[in-house]
Amino acid sequence: MGYEKERRIAELAVQRATLLTKKVFHEKAKGELAKDDKSPVTKGDFGAQALIIQAIAHNFPNDEIVGEEESSELRQDTALRSEIWDLVKDIKLNDSASDALLGGPLPSEEAMLDIIDKGNSPGGPKGRIWALDPIDGTKGFLRGGQYAVCLGLIVDGDVKVGVIGCPNLPVDDATSLSADIGGNQSDEEGKGVLFSAVQGEGAISRPLTSGGLAPSNPISMRPVPDTSKAVFCEGVEAGHSNQGDNAAVAKRLGITAPSVRLDSQAKYCSIARGAGDIYLRLPVRKDYQEKIWDHAAGDLLVREAGGQVTDIYGKRLDFSKGRTLIENKGVVAAPAALQDQVIEAVQVVLNLK
Ligand SMILES: Nc1ncnc2c1ncn2[C@@H]1O[C@H](COP(=O)(O)OS(=O)(=O)O)[C@@H](OP(=O)(O)O)[C@H]1O
Ligand SMILES: [Mg+2]
């Protein structure tokens, strides 16, 4: 219990960082950048990481941070670095009291690089550790589709707070399921959704804004009478989860509805609000270790919305082992009442039993 300050700071930090990523996303969408230019995602990633770590370091100076990015590339590339600095120094929430909570402007480009490198914690079983993915769903971002800004607080190995900004998801939690849930949901004015959860206190969503926090609504997973009525949410990239195995699991469960495909932790968010029911991430490569920043916030959000999240063996995701989920393989997230049946089907399809 508690963690209200952590939730508020995390929500505001993610909201502010999302503004930066949206600026770059829309420059790209309007064709102002070369089509094969990889720099938009790089700019968004580094800029958002700097802004979020600044807010954490200002409010919780003793906490550690596991961030996806580190600054060595920027220390080599002065042109890219100054483009990112131009973005970072100008981003403010349109509400001075909220902005002040996140700390004053960073003093210099050098300070920005140092802040980015505070994301170098090795993680582990003890203490307060934030897991940060400044742009999750890189491929979705580049494609003009779904991406997410994700931040989770892990305390002694347990996720206590999870916050996810999804600038391209529809604001209304009741929006019906749609296979076409790409970047066409986005606009520059400030649509999109901010999701959050605190352990033991449920999950909420609120519209993303460019100022202070908007009013929130509780969210929960859809009641699904039996597995055949469920809808899958799954990734877009065939290299990240095994779509053939997913289809075989769906068949075993009697599911006929087409899967909703979207990038990033927007999948966890969608099932947590009832826009889809089951998220499967079945391994493609045996040796791939999932990263904690790709799952910490989404894991808590779904569990607080009435779901269960495990790996393909039915084991809870273990965030106490460092920067990766070394003790887990794949992800299976479903309404709590269906989880055992889904795991059973996964294990049959993967020949685990
Ligand atoms: N081989 C493999 N297997 C599983 N996961 C991998 C793999 N390679 C990369 N990644 C990580 O996938 C993150 C993006 O996941 P998504 O869910 O958006 O992917 S997708 O929707 O399935 O395309 C992506 O996060 P971002 O880099 O932040 O986009 C990677 O951390
Ligand atoms: Mg990621």
Q: Output the domain CATH number for residue 46.
A: 3.30.540.10
In total, how many domains does the chain have? 2
Say if residue 312 carries a ligand binding annotation.
no
For residue 133, the ligand 1 atom closest to its alpha carbon is: 28
136 labelled ligand-binding = yes
Could you say which of 219, 237, 271 is where a domain stops? 219
135 annotated ligand binder: yes
Closest CA to 148 of 100, 200, 208, 226: 208
Domain-terminating residue out of 192, 219, 246: 219
User: What SS3 class is residue 12?
Assistant: helix
Distance CA 294, CA 11 (A): 17
Question: At 318, which CATH number?
Answer: 3.40.190.80
**Are residues 208 and 269 both part of a single domain?**
no
Residues 151 and 236 in one domain: no
324 and 184 in a common domain: no
Q: Could you report the per-residue pLDDT of 131-175, keeping only the tens digit for each? A: 999 999 999 998 888 999 999 999 999 999 999 999 999 888 776
Q: Which of 219, 236, 270 is the C-terminal boundary of a domain? A: 219
* CB neighbour burial string for 128-146, b if at least 16 within 10 angstroms, e if fewer: bbbbbbbbbbbbbbbebbb
Question: Who contacts 247 (Cβ-Cβ below 8 Å, separation ≥6)?
Answer: none
ipTM of the complex: 0.96
- Whether residue 163 is found in the same domain as residue 91: yes
C-alpha pair distances (Å), 184 with each of 159, 191, 313, 331: 32, 11, 37, 28
**Could you tell which of 52, 243, 294, 332 is best to mutate to test the pocket of ligand 1, judged by most ligand atoms within 8 Å of the CB?**
294
- The parent domain of residue 64 ranges over 4-219
On whether both 198 and 271 belong to a single domain, the answer is no
pTM attached to this predicted model: 0.96
Q: Could you list the pLDDT tens digit for every one of the 353 residues in the chain?
A: 699 999 999 999 999 999 999 999 988 777 766 655 668 889 999 999 999 999 999 999 999 999 999 999 999 999 999 999 999 999 999 999 999 999 988 999 999 999 999 999 999 999 999 999 999 999 999 888 899 999 999 999 999 999 999 999 988 877 656 655 654 555 555 579 999 999 999 999 999 999 999 999 999 999 999 999 999 999 988 898 899 999 999 999 999 998 889 999 999 999 999 999 999 999 999 899 999 999 999 999 999 999 999 999 999 999 999 999 999 999 999 999 999 999 999 999 999 97
Position 104 scores a pLDDT of: 80
Are residues 163 and 132 part of one domain? Answer: yes
Q: What is the pLDDT of residue 37?
A: 64
Show the ligand 1 pocket: residues with CB < 6 angstroms: 133, 136-139, 235-237, 239-241, 263-264, 284-285, 288, 291, 294
**How far is the centre of ligand 1, averaged over its atoms, from the C-alpha of 99 (Å)?**
31
Output the CA 138–ligand 1 centroid distance in Å.
Answer: 8
| 215: helix, strand or coil | coil
Q: Are residues 187 and 234 in the same domain?
A: no
Q: What pLDDT does 143 receive?
A: 86
Active site residue 138: yes
Residues 232 and 336 in one domain: yes
Please give the pLDDT value at position 39: 83
Q: Are the CB atoms for 24 and 73 separated by under 8 Å?
A: no
Same domain, 204 and 311: no
Ligand 1 midpoint to CA 137 (Å)? 7
Same domain, 203 and 255: no
Q: Which atom of ligand 1 is nearest to the CA of 239?
A: 1
Q: Do 185 and 41 belong together in one domain?
A: yes
278 with 203, same domain: the answer is no
